[in-house]
Structure 1
């Protein structure tokens, strides 16, 4: 192998190493979290982040809330509804516990958002009252059914809109959480059911502020 070939080989190896480290950093947020440990905790990171559609919903205070506002912090989105008999209250209770167990830095860098899949009954007032039973810092979003469906489709969270003419109807929906990065893009999912014992170990590394 000539000196030139050796030089080229070394340069290719260095570039490959840099690319590998860069990809790992993108996937893990800081380049330090162990992808295998993340998966074991139920955290599934996407190979490429997804942009969210430009939509306007309504928050629990009755204020217009653009999807673009889900920036500057990491966010966990849960698609549920306040009349849910089991999955939703259990998940919100687990999220309340998870936040309480996280170190302060991670907790301050994490926003929990419940997006209603039942906007027919989930008014802002209803959302605010309901979320207050779990954590007053949780954000609730409702709004036009088409906008909610578009957002759910964009982040691959399936649910079946209910026939609102039926009395005491229920809504079939996924219990997975959507992970959004501080840039407002979808980074992945947390699979249901939540394993707080493992999540409290893995999330702090993922949620570290950039810089």
Structure 2
């Protein structure tokens, strides 16, 4: 794995603003021509890309997947667990608001990703049922893992903290992050009080 500048990503979560911009970086979204896009997909990843992680996840079909598979399109990503009764449904609902607004703008090439930090309970079968219950579109990827190690790694680079509490629930951060096509954080919402529509300005 390459040298990974985690510190600049985690530091964003400490920002008092609801949504904050990441540090300056090359704008990969300016390459609109097909040949240029193809070249970008095969180019080395930025040190700030979370796609440098080699973590192996499972999708709702039980197939293994690495985050780098999402490369090439903007991604709106957060973490949750399906048995959550309050905060996680709010995160999901706000991400769906972003999806709806983007659709109205004619932007349907954005991926929406939820990574579970309760892999023991959130099996692929559970995620599949959850996606159906929540009427999630084909733009969504619900991901879990075989152990707690993988969500811990992803949480660390997204600036998300979580801990299991009595009764099997979790205390966790409320953070929704926008990644550019190369997996570099370009903006985020911290806390439920923010307007998720503000995230749209980080999506080209």
CA distance in 1 between partners of 2:181 and 2:129 (Å): 27
When structure 1 is superposed on structure 2, of 43-52 and 75-84 the one drifting more is: 43-52
Q: Which position in structure 2 is the counterpart of 1:101?
A: 101
How much does 1:172 deviate?
1.1
Q: Normalising by structure 2, report the TM-score.
A: 0.70
User: Any residues of structure 2 matched to 1:5-84 within 5 Å, and which?
Assistant: 42-48=18-24, 50-52=48-50, 53-84=53-84
Are 1:176 and 1:189, in contact at CA under 8 Å, matched by a contact in 2? Answer: yes
More deviation, 132-141/78-87: 132-141
- For the pair 1:206 / 2:182, whether they are aligned, the reply is no
Give the Cα–Cα distance (whole angstroms) in 2 for the partners of residues 132 and 117 of structure 1.
Answer: 20
Deviation at 1:63, TM superposition (A): 0.8
Q: 1:159 aligned to 2:165?
A: no
Say yes or no: does 1:145 pair with 2:141: no
CA RMSD of aligned residues (A): 2.3
Give the drift of 1:181.
0.8
Q: Which residue of 1 aligns with 2:129?
A: 129
State whether residues 103 and 204 of structure 1, in contact with CA within 8 Å, keep that contact through their aligned partners in structure 2. Answer: no
Is contact 2:117-2:151 (8 Å) kept? Answer: yes
Shift of 1:187: 2.4
Number of residue pairs the alignment of both structures matches? 162
Asked if structure 1 preserves the Cα contact closer than 8 Å seen for 2:76 and 2:176, the reply is: yes
In 2, Cα distance between equivalents of 1:171 and 1:155:
17
Structure 1 residues 48 and 147: CA distance shift in structure 2, 3 A: farther
Alpha-carbon deviation of 1:92? 1.1
Q: Is the 8 A contact 1:106 1:207 kept in 2?
A: no
Between the aligned partners of 2:192 and 2:181, the Cα distance in structure 1 is 24
User: Per-residue CA shift, 1:33-77, capped at 9, x if unaligned?
Assistant: xxxxxx97x331111562222211111111111011121111111
How far apart, in 1, do the equivalents of 2:21 and 2:62 lie? Answer: 33
Structure with the largest fraction of helix? 1
Deviation at 1:85, TM superposition (A): 1.3
In structure 1, what is the Cα distance between the partners aligned to 2:153 and 2:182? 20
